[in-house]
Structure 1
Amino acid sequence: MRNIKLVLAYDGTGYAGWQRQLGQPTIQQVVEEAIARLTQAPVVLHGAGRTDAGVHAQGMTANFQTDSAIPLSGLVKGLNSMLPEAIRVLDAEKVAHDFHARYNATGKVYEYAFMATEIMPPCRRLYAAQVRAPFMCDAVRLCLPMVVGTHDFSSFEASGSRDLT
């Protein structure tokens, strides 16, 4: 049995987030189904974290166990041929049997995009939040150092959570 780590990128528009939900399309569900078709066996895909509905990711790590002998390059090519254009596998790597994307995560980076404009360009509407002018850029720049770095988000986690990041 191999433990495979995937590095994923996705546009979350049209998805109900990462985590599988009954009756709603999710990133986890779509990728699990593609892996199952390719390997001809059901799998459970463990993500490093969960994104909400409409949230995008670049470099999301996930892992699954498989008996499949498909080469790693074949997994990447095969999955990308089956997945919708909004979801891509960037890399696949065989990892230690005890590796778990969620519990072995060492950090997460969040990026937020804002556009200070009265008229939002249609091609940016899904990837940036509109902030109407006047926008106080200098005041925001002064506050940015307060949100950069390592922070304790334990007050936001569910009771009994084992998340370390």
Structure 2
Amino acid sequence: MTTRQEKAAQTRRDLLAAAQVVFERKGYLNATITDITTPRLARPRARSTTISTARKRCSSRSRATSATTRMHSSPRPRDDLRDLGPHLAVFWQLQSRHRTVMAALRDAALVDPAFAQRMHDFGIEQMKPWAELLTALAEGIAALTRFVERGLLG
């Protein structure tokens, strides 16, 4: 990498870090380019930052869409959902480590109906295994309740 490429990469990392701080403090919709670039000594041009932000949004949208497509194409069998611990751990890690990004995605969905629909569809796909597991659990509890009631009531 050349010095210029290294500086560009560092600038990008600095801007992403600054954006995360601003998003945490003000939210995605209330954040401005100026909020993100003001703390920097060498401020990048607003136009290039706007282009970068637009690319990031498109990239986030395409990642959400491709993840949804992958999930549609590879359904998981119900049997692998019996162990709830790993599923909860992954969900918790994702939500806690990427809280700011998740909030930004929710905010972005407020202003873009097509993106909101893709996020909704993605959320539905994410919840299907949980719904299947909870349905099976409810059926098991109902069967156990009927068994106990029959035993107690004769």
Asked if Structure 1 and Structure 2 have the same fold, meaning a TM-score greater than 0.5 normalized by the shorter chain, the answer is no
Give TM-score scaled by structure 2 length.
Answer: 0.22
Q: Which has the larger radius of gyration?
A: 2
- Higher fraction of strand: 1
Give TM-score scaled by structure 1 length.
Answer: 0.21
- Higher fraction of helix: 2
